[in-house]
Structure 1
Amino acid sequence: MLEKQNVPPGQHRRDRVVRIRARAKAFFEVVRRAELRGARELSGPARRPQWLGLLNQFRSRQTGILPGAAAVATDLQQTVAAFERALALEPANWSLYLDLADVRAEQGDFTSAVRLIDEGMRYEPTELSLRAAGAAYRARLTGSRADLSELIELAPNLPNDSYRDLLIDHACAGPALPAELVAAARRIQHN
């Protein structure tokens, strides 16, 4: 049985920043090529597994590097612009809505994150990552007991532990959530 490694404080946030930077870089290239061709849609779907591969490539080059706050803010603004252009080219791509919602959540804009998740759910209502992110972002925004309970149910099935832990962190910071539910969510992070 494999034991989880202890993750240093702030590591999830650093992982998230690296992930966002990798997505932005890849999206800029995909969108730039599509715009050069005059395309009205992307040449292929941009699904999460593709981004995880790009993330691993990027991490192998950038391990241990955390840019300053100004660089992160600029990267996030550029990332938002890239995802919005990509959504204009491929508006039915649920994964793009999820990725942009994740960026908006990273910026602290949970209202936009929830709206984006709801739009993505129109295209893929059973997608586990969309459902979990929606529950997490609604719990953070509204303090909904039902949404935190939904996240607790969905979180163990998420394939990426780092992403799961980030969603739990967001959700548990929601207003006036019951301590027993927050504790149950935190236990998932430590299993």
Structure 2
Amino acid sequence: MFSIYETRSDREKLLNNLLEQDPTLALIVAFIDFEWTVRRTILALGKSSTKVIRARYAGENPETGQKDCNRRAVCSLDGFNELWNQEVASGSARKFYDFFNNAVKLRNVPGFNKDLAAASGKKNRNTADYLKIVYERFRNTLIHGSRTTVKPDKARFAFHFVTACSRALCDYAEEQGKSIYGKKIVRIKPRQ
């Protein structure tokens, strides 16, 4: 469905067309795009070789390539957080959740309003809190089948929020001189 050879605007056009047809399906695909974008950003900006990062992502021992019973494959926000903080966050680079708090402003996300904020049970949540809530309430429940649909207004807000997070990651990689689109990301030697 996605290709490294498309652009961010091509991807967003595809996602927005899907949003018009089926907001719940568009939200699921937006989560797929988000996870793809996080992974590609970590590969592009990480300090280890891409072979090591891919092994860690898969829950393998980077030296042997074998499954490591002490490692889990990265398949959650906490897993992305851990891998990002190991590979990307250093020096001036922000930790994973801090990155979203700084890069994505909720007031700029279409569909965000105080009523939705109040419905989440706590006022004054930050972007990372919303990312965790949206990921758990929508992504996990839809993917694992405990929910089959989302009300269109909530699906649209979550969709716009998740795509804003993906866009922020893409923009950040480009600010660092790296593109997550256009070619396979390969780094044989670790960064110094």
Higher helix share: 1
Q: TM-score, normalised by structure 2?
A: 0.30
Q: TM-score, normalised by structure 1?
A: 0.30
Q: Identify the structure with bigger relative contact order (alpha carbons < 8 Å, sequence gap 6+).
A: 2
